[in-house]
């Protein structure tokens, strides 16, 4: 077989040599130990949590080591590509604050190792395939879909492994005349890699997440170039990650099955394979069956990255939650370093679990509450204003009408050792703040059990003339005691508990009556502060409104 002649026949338009291409991708000048990682998403228009999960690993590994994190668009499958897909990818990562150091941008490339869109790299891949053909390591295969299906059926019947290998690799050793005849007829073909592997052999591999593995060698002659001249994932991965200098490939564990193919290709090309970190699938407990299953695009809205922005989960909360899934020791670190930026956490692939990570939205809410409780008032105000501007225009108008008022409310219980944790996402702001806005105020005047409607009215009537917006919490509480005593309620809870029959209730019942009247619910932040924010006029109006409502009850 004249391999050179075959290579020229298949790739007459390729005049570059592998060496010329290699020269365009010099070794990166980085400090010892610096890692180069990349995201290689396909522009399908759908970005999911798994993408972010992997990206966080990439970003941490690179930036923690003084390395490079870059974006490569894997657009070799035109059928799955959607218009604006690249934009969706870039916007999703930038909204999650995971900065790429280089790679594809909206209108081109930024970096010296491009092009960063695989669709623009056809000549590069073909140069390397041509060289494999020249060396007898790759060959064209003219099998039709029908022929491959027939082989598959045969293998099924014989209970043999599926695929293109051994006697099923019908073009592997075909004479040149057959190949040329097929080419002369213009028969479409793919290029396959000639595997020298055997399923009798195992290869050892150490994955950064899965640990030591023993995997069966690949004996299939896999397709490396499709009939349109575009490479398959396998070949593009090997060529790109070599040229672009990737040192750690972080990708979903679904790629583990074809790792032997990739290692084989790296060897055939004479290139050093990168390290691999195969990340576990994101699982959840199915609310219906109670069983564990993979997150599903169809059933689980929380799989889509867009879900988090829509609901108003703060970006750092989502990242922190993903970090709790990624590194088993993150939560402990966070408890000990409450105010440290997340980047200060020493992330390690050694702490990643090799089995499925269990995604739990309730846990995300808890993490988010903690994250928001540590934010300062101005940050929270800006985030709510920003979120509501696109997702709840009506609330936005109320919320930003008097910024000082909204901020004063958001400041209640913020800071200090035990901050309030009312908000898990920005969409919660409306329900938490409704009592500030008469437009949203829908009071539920359910009074404490021990207080009748008549009594509640009398308490409110007594409180109205005593109200002073300048009162400190202590002043306010003294007034509550005064009213309690006048109405036969114990002025302290201990006294009430010691002899309940001597009282109608305790001072807490009295202040609860005032709280319900003002806040329209039993659960609200510090009442004295709320009343100061509302101001005298609105407080008195609320007291009247409640008395009127109780009167008609």
Which positions lie near ligand GLU, rule CB under 6 A? 40-42, 74, 237, 249, 251
Between 68 and 249, CB nearer to ligand GLU: 249
Report the nearest approach of ligand GLU to the CB of residue 237 (Å).
5
**Shortest spacing between CB 45 and ligand GLU, in angstroms:** 13
Q: Report the residue number, 6 or 273, with the smaller CB distance to ligand GLU.
A: 273
CB of 208 or CB of 249, closer to ligand GLU: 249
Rounded to whole angstroms, the Cα distance separating 300 from 424 reads 19
Longest dimension (CA), the chain: 111
SS3 at position 146: helix
Distances (CA, A) of 415 to 338, 370, 419, 421, 426: 12, 12, 6, 11, 19
Question: How far is the C-alpha of 304 from the C-alpha of 315, rounded, in Å?
Answer: 14
- At 299 the three-state DSSP class reads coil
Cβ closer to ligand GLU: 136 or 354? 354
Q: Which is nearer to ligand GLU, 54 or 525 (CB)?
A: 54
- Residue 167: Cβ-neighbour burial (10 angstroms; 0-12, 13-18, 19+): exposed
At closest approach, how far in Å is the CB of 75 from ligand GLU? 9
Q: Which two tokens stand for residue 543?
A: 């007291």
Q: Which residues of 306-315 are buried (b: 16+ CB within 10 A; e: fewer)?
A: ebbbebbbbe
Residues 6 or more apart whose CB falls under 8 angstroms from that of 225 comprise 125, 126, 129, 190, 191, 231, 232, 235
Contact residues for 31 (Cβ-Cβ < 8 A; gap 6+): 66
Task: Using alpha carbons, list the distances in angstroms from residue 41 to 48, 116, 250, 283.
Answer: 10, 11, 12, 20
Cβ pair 49, 91 in contact under 8 A = no
Closest to ligand GLU by CB, 224 vs 516, is 224
Nearest distance in Å: CB 280, ligand GLU:
15
User: Least Å distance between CB 249 and ligand GLU?
Assistant: 6
Minimum Å gap between C-beta 42 and ligand GLU is 5
**Secondary structure of residue 532 in the 3-state scheme:** helix
Nearer to ligand GLU, 60 or 237 (CB): 237
**Smallest separation (angstroms) from ligand GLU to the CB of 120:** 15
- Local structure of 164: helix, strand or coil: coil
Q: Which residues contact 338 (CB under 8 A, 6 or more apart)?
A: 374
- For ligand GLU, the closer of residues 74 and 422 by Cβ is 74
To the nearest whole angstrom, how small is the minimum distance from the Cβ of residue 347 to ligand GLU? 18
Distances (CA, A) of 283 to 210, 250, 280, 356, 359: 17, 18, 9, 6, 6
Nearest approach, Cβ of 50 to ligand GLU (angstroms)? 9
Q: Which residue's CB is nearer to ligand GLU, number 271 or number 467?
A: 271
Cβ nearer to ligand GLU, comparing 273 with 527: 273
- Cβ contact 103:109 at 8 Å: yes
Alpha-carbon distance values, 310 to 3, 192, 315, 509 (Å): 57, 45, 12, 40
Distances (CA, A) of 317 to 307, 339, 368, 446: 14, 14, 5, 35
- Please say which residue, 245 or 508, places its beta carbon nearer to ligand GLU: 245
**CB of 40: closest distance to ligand GLU in angstroms?**
4
> Using CA atoms, how far apart are residues 147 and 460, in angstroms rounded to an integer?
87
Least distance CB 74 / ligand GLU (angstroms)? 4
């Amino acid at each position: 077989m004249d391999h050179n002649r075959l290579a020229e026949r298949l790739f007459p338009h390729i005049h570059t040599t592998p060496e010329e291409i290699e020269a365009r991708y010099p070794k990166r000048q980085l400090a010892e130990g610096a890692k180069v990682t990349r995201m290689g998403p396909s522009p399908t228009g759908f970005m999911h949590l798994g993408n972010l999960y992997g990206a966080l690993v990439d970003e941490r590994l690179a930036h923690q080591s003084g390395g490079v994190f870059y974006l490569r668009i894997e657009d070799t499958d035109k059928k799955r590509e959607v218009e604006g897909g690249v934009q969706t990818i870039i916007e999703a990562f930038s909204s999650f604050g995971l900065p790429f150091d280089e790679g594809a941008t909206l209108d081109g490339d930024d970096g010296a190792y491009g092009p960063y869109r695989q669709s623009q790299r056809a000549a590069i891949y073909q140069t390397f395939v041509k060289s494999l053909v020249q060396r007898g390591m790759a060959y064209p295969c003219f099998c039709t879909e029908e022929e491959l299906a027939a082989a598959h059926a045969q293998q099924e019947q014989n209970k043999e492994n599926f695929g293109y290998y051994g006697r099923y690799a019908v073009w592997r050793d075909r004479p040149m005349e057959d190949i040329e005849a097929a080419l002369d007829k213009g028969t479409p073909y793919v290029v396959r890699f000639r595997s020298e592997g055997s399923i009798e052999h195992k290869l050892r591999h150490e994955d950064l997440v899965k640990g030591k593995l023993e995997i069966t060698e690949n004996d299939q002659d896999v397709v490396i170039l499709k009939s349109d001249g575009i490479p398959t994932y396998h070949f593009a991965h090997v060529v790109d990650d070599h040229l672009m200098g990737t040192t750690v490939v972080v990708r979903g564990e679904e790629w583990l099955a074809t790792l032997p193919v990739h290692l084989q290709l790296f060897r055939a090309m004479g290139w050093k394979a990168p390290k691999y970190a195969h990340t576990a699938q994101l699982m959840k407990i199915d609310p219906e069956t109670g069983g564990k299953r993979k997150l599903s695009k169809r059933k689980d809205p929380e799989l889509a990255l867009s879900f988090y922005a829509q609901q108003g989960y703060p970006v750092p909360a989502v990242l922190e939650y993903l970090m709790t899934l990624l590194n088993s020791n993150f939560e402990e670190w966070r408890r000990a370093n409450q105010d440290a930026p997340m980047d200060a956490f020493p992330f390690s692939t050694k702490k990643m679990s090799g089995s499925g990570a269990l995604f739990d939205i309730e846990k995300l809410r808890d993490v988010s509450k903690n994250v928001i409780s540590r934010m300062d008032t101005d940050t929270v105000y800006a985030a709510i204003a920003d979120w509501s501007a696109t997702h709840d225009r009506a609330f936005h108008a109320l919320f930003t009408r008097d910024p000082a008022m909204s901020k004063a409310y958001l400041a209640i219980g913020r800071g200090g050792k035990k901050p309030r944790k009312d908000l898990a996402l920005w969409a919660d702001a409306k329900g938490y703040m409704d009592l500030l806005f008469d437009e949203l105020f829908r009071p539920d005047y359910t009074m404490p059990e021990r207080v009748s409607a008549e009594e509640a009215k009398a308490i409110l009537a007594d409180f109205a003339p005593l109200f002073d917006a300048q009162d400190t919490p202590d002043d306010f509480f003294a007034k509550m005691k005064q009213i309690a005593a006048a109405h036969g309620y114990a002025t302290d809870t201990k006294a009430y508990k010691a002899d309940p029959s001597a009282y109608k209730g305790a001072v807490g019942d009295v202040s609860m009556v005032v709280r319900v009247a003002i806040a329209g619910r039993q659960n609200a932040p510090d009442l004295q502060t709320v009343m100061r924010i509302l101001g005298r006029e609105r407080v008195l109006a609320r007291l009247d409104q409640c008395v009127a409502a109780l009167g008609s009850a």
